[in-house]
Structure 1
Amino acid sequence: MSVLLAGGGTAGHVAPLLATADCLRRRHPDARFLALGTIAGLESRLLPERGYSFVEVPRVPLPRKPSADLYRLPQRLRKAVTAARHAIEQIDADVVVGFGGYVSVPGYVAARRLRVPIVVHEQNSLPGIANRLGARWARSTAVTFPGTSLRGAVHTGMPLRSEITDLALLPDRAARRREARAELGLDPDRPTLLVTGGSLGAQRLNDVLGSCAGELLAAGVQVLHASGRGKEVALAPDVDRTRYVVRPYLDAIDTAYAAADLVVGRSGAGTVSELTALGLPGVYVPLPIGNGEQRRNAESVVAAGGGVLVDDAALDAAFVRSRVLPLLTDPAALAAASAAAAAFGVHDGAERLADLVEAAAASRS
């Protein structure tokens, strides 16, 4: 089997691409893989690190409004499609798998012209322009969240990295929770809140949760707070730093998840998918910019009882006091929210998507 992968620019595209490629490589050790990407994207570093060949295609942003970029689009797209076509021919691809983003569009166009089957995976509840186009031509279209409006959509969930799926399938999560807390220098027996804004952090979360540190600790809980590189959490001088632990970045996020009872964070598709796969309740604070996809990502699991949704502007000390603390300190409420999150979650998204890729590749032969 020969697979061309297209999707880059952000972790939201690259992470599921890598998880799917790893799954296919486990199933087919002799398969050939080639990925499209841009030098400026994360894929230029992450793909070679994982052993996947990478071909650069020109970056082709799709303008949402009339602009000079719109007039330059045809020439840019022609160059990018030519590069994608050469990549398909280079490995004689049986299937093109796209994850959205700038590099997917030339991959989809080239595949359609060469009559190579296309499989699309959409991460967000609100599809992007690239995947709305790709879904029109795709043999299979996979979506992370049920109800995503794409032609012929099949719910597969998000392809997740093996560290997350291994934790999700662990038979004794309670024992792992105690171990993880000890590894992180935390009390194995205290309720634990994880706060994370992702690798870049979220200053709003840092400011609000940091201001509540005294109340959180007084309620008997402990906090592991990933501030983001270059960002700080301002704590009062009397706050016990052994119970409110601030780190700029968590290298092993699976260990942090294993230690946590509740997570406060943004609601990117990857975060929502990871938390629900692990049965972790979330306090979701959607990024207040963009087209509203982060709110949409979290709405269904919150409606099912697997978390709480709060606007960025509404997150304050009063909210932490009235909504976060009561949930974190009520074992029965936490257990119910955890069960609801787990019922919504999917831990085998990579396997489900790999099934669709294999079927599409077989259809060409």
Structure 2
Amino acid sequence: MKVVLSGGGTGGHIYPALALAKIIEQKETDAEFLYIGSYRGVEKNIVPQTGIPFMQLDVQGFSRSLSASNFKTVYLFLKAVREAKKILKGFQPDVVVGTGGYVSGAVLYAAQQMKIPTVIHEQNSVAGITNKFLARGATKIGLGFEAAKDQFPADKTVLIGNPRAQEVANLQSDFSWTSYGLKDGVKTLLIFGGSQGAPAINLATLAAIPAFNDRPYQVVLVAGPKRIDNFNRLLAERNLTLGDHIKVLPYIDNMPAVMKKASVLVSRAGATSIAELTALGLPAILVPSPFVTGDHQTKNASSLVEAGAALSIKEPDLNGDSLVKAADALLLDDAQAQAMEKQSAAVGITDAGDRFYDLIKSVI
């Protein structure tokens, strides 16, 4: 099987594609891959490290206001489509898979014009603009959330989940909290606002420090490499000290392994985060980012809240008191935590990679 993968801009578009590649490799050892990304997205730093052949196209997103830059966007898109056709003609793929981001729009549109089977994957509850554009010509559409079904042609959609979930569910973790100076066997609240940290979550945690100092559970905040200095400065300005059971870190590079040992997770409500935590059956306190297209994180979070698989705090309502209240509800009440674990695991699709593989095979 020869597969072209395309997705870019953010990790949420890239990691599902890479997780899918691992699944395919397990099932078809002679599979060949080519990843087509952009010059602007983080895929240029991530994909080459995997060993998958990587090529780039020059694309950019549309401005949501009237702007002359949109003329350049159209020009770059049409140029990228022409270049993508040349790449596809040379590679001769059996299928082209798009996981979102502007670059996948050019690649899959080129494939559709060349009559090559295409499969798109929508990770979120609200369809992205690129996937909406590609849907009419797509052969099949894999969904991460049932809530996105009404936004695509019904005869093409299949609920498959996010392949990142299967990757995390099968992970064997030998992580120990002792590596951070904490104790194993003690309930631990892991607070993670993304790889760069989230200012609102950091500030709420800062305000919660006096209360967390008195709690029996451990607290780990991942503040972000560029934000930890500011957090520590504010900590000193407010004359706050951290109890021995509280740690503030800049970054965690083995997050799934650490998540597997956490009791409760505080995080944004991105599709990849939700796929990972539900694959682990991990109770969560979700703080949807208000700065995303279509407010899709709020809708992602709502799907878990409605299933009893998570709590959610809107960012304007996030402060020290609301954070502590939510944390206490799950870490001081075993019955509620256990019920949420069960519901989280029920929502998780731990065979998402296999489902995605089967969907791809169905179009070849």
Q: Which shows bigger deviation, 142-151 or 114-123?
A: 142-151
Give the corresponding residue for 1:346: 349
Indicate which of 214, 219, 222 corresponds to 2:215.
219
CA contact (8 A) 2:207 2:320 kept: yes
Indicate which of 205, 210, 226 corresponds to 1:209.
205
Give CA deviations for 1:200-258 in whole Å, capped at 9, x if unaligned.
00111111112212312312111011111111334465634531011100111123212
Cα separation, 1, equivalents of 2:54 and 2:312? 38
In the alignment, does 2:117 pair up with 1:128? no
Cα separation, 2, equivalents of 1:218 and 1:29? 53
1:228 corresponds to which letter in structure 2? G
Give the corresponding residue for 1:297: 300
How far is the alpha carbon of 1:359 from its aligned partner?
A: 2.0
Aligned residues: 353
CA contact (8 A) 2:288 2:313 kept: yes
CA contact (8 A) 1:191 1:329 kept: no
Give CA deviations for 1:51-110 in whole Å, capped at 9, x if unaligned.
111111121423444431333344322210011111111111111100111111111221
Q: CA RMSD in A?
A: 1.9
Cα separation, 1, equivalents of 2:134 and 2:339? 39
Indicate which of 259, 277, 280 corresponds to 1:278.
280
Cα separation, 2, equivalents of 1:241 and 1:83? 57
Give the corresponding residue for 2:329: 326
Cα separation, 2, equivalents of 1:323 and 1:165? 26
How far is the alpha carbon of 1:281 from its aligned partner?
A: 1.1
- Residue aligned with 2:190, SS: strand
How far is the alpha carbon of 1:319 from its aligned partner?
A: 1.0
Indicate which of 158, 162, 183 corresponds to 1:158.
162
In the alignment, does 2:358 pair up with 1:355? yes
Cα separation, 2, equivalents of 1:357 and 1:201? 35
Alignment of 1:1-365 (within 5 A): 1-148=1-148, 149-151=151-153, 152-160=156-164, 164-167=168-171, 180-232=176-228, 233-234=231-232, 235=235, 239-290=241-292, 291-361=294-364
Change (3 A) 1:245 1:344: same
TM-score (norm 1): 0.91
Could you list the runs of 5+ residues in structure 1 that have no partner in the other structure? 171-175
CA contact (8 A) 2:285 2:326 kept: no
CA contact (8 A) 1:37 1:55 kept: yes
Could you list the runs of 5+ residues in structure 2 that have no partner in the other structure? none
2:266 corresponds to which letter in structure 1? V
2:260 corresponds to which letter in structure 1? A
**Percent pairwise identity:** 33
Cα separation, 1, equivalents of 2:165 and 2:345? 17
Give CA deviations for 1:6-57 in whole Å, capped at 9, x if unaligned.
1111101111111111111222221221111112222112211111111111
